[in-house]
Amino acid sequence: MRYETVGAAGPRVSALILGCGNFGGIGSPAQFRGKGDNRDTAFEVMDAARESGVCMFDTANAYAGGTSEQWIGEWLASRQAYDDIAVTTKVGGPTDAGSGLSREHIRGQIDASLSRLGVERVALYLAHGPDDTVPIEETIGTFDELVQEGKIGAYGVSNVTAEQLSAATAAGRPVNVQNGYNLFDRLGQADLWPVCAAAGVGFTAYSPLAGGLLTGKHRAGQPFAAESRMALRPPELTDLSLDRALGALPRLIEIADGYGVPLTTLALAWVLTDPGVTAAVVGPRSAEHLKPMVAAVDLALTTEQRAELIVGTHSISNG
C-alpha cells in the first residue's frame, strides 16, 4: 500500500480509502436504507481493508440514516483498531435531523457522528455538498472551531466546483476536496486542479469505478443484477450517458486483457496515477472484490498508457 498526506496539512491516508456508503444502505437516500451490505459483510470488508493496509474509512452522517457510522464504530471497538484506522465523515446531507451546513446543524451533527463512531475525534470532516442558504464563512468558521476543540483533525469539501472550492479556501484552510472522478467522468475536474495546487488542497476521488460500471461485469442490452448498486442506483455520469459508457466497455476490457489485469484494476490505476489525485475512495461489496482494487496501487501507468485508455472512450466521449 502507498501512503500520502492529504493536501498541505491533512491526515496521512492510504492510496485506497475504504468507502462505507454501502453499509446498511446505498448512500444517503432514505429509500435505499436496508438495501446495501449487511453488518457481517461490512465487518468482513473492513477486516480485509485493514489487512491490505488501508488506513482510512470514509463515511457520512447521512449514509443509511447513520447506520454506516454505527457499524464502523462497532467494528473499531470490537477490533481495537483505533490506532490503525482514521475516519473521515461528512455533514450536510439529508438526515432525520435535517440537513445543511449551518453552524447549529454542524455542531449537533458532529457530536452525533462521534457518538455513533465511538471516538472523540475524526481525522477529516467534509462538507458533503454546497449549501447555498448558508454563507461559506459560517460553515468554514464552524469547522475551524471544531479543529480548535479537538473534535476534528482537519476539514474539507465535497461535490464542489472550482469556484466553490476557491470560496472555501478564501474563508479558511480546507485540506481536501472529494469529488467523483473516473474514466467516464473526468472533464469536470480540470478547473479544480489549479485551485488545489495553489491552495495546498488534496484531491480524493470517489466513484473511481463509476459506481461499479468500470468493473467490466455489466454489458449493454443486459439487465443489471438484482439488488446490485447498478440496478438500485446507477451512477450519474457527466462526460457520458449511461448508454454511451456501456458502449465503451468492450474496448476498455480489450485493453485490460492486453495488460493481463481485470478492468477494475486498470481503471482504478488510471485514477491513482493521475498526478492530481491523492487517493481514491473505493466501495467493494465483498472482501474478494477488494483484491483487484488493491492490485491497482502497484500498477504504474505512464502518461502514454493513461492516454490510451482515454482514446478507448473517444468514439463515444465528448473528451
Task: Enumerate the active-site residues.
Answer: 63
Alpha-carbon torsion 59, 151, 140, 204, what sign? negative
Whole-Å CA distances, 137 to 2, 152, 161, 167, 288: 35, 18, 17, 9, 44
Q: For residues 318 and 299, what is the distance between their CA atoms, to the nearest angstrom? A: 27
Grid coordinates in use for 309?
Answer: 485508455
Per-state percent for the chain, helix, strand, coil, to nearest 5:
45, 15, 40
Whole-Å CA distances, 245 to 23, 213, 214, 251: 27, 8, 9, 11
Name the DSSP letter for residue 141: H
Grid coordinates in use for 307?
Answer: 492516454
The DSSP H or E segment spanning 165 is helix 162-171
Q: What are phi and psi of 17, to 5 degrees?
A: -110, 135
Grid coordinates in use for 272?
Answer: 491513482
The DSSP H or E segment spanning 294 is helix 287-296
Grid coordinates in use for 27?
Answer: 448512500
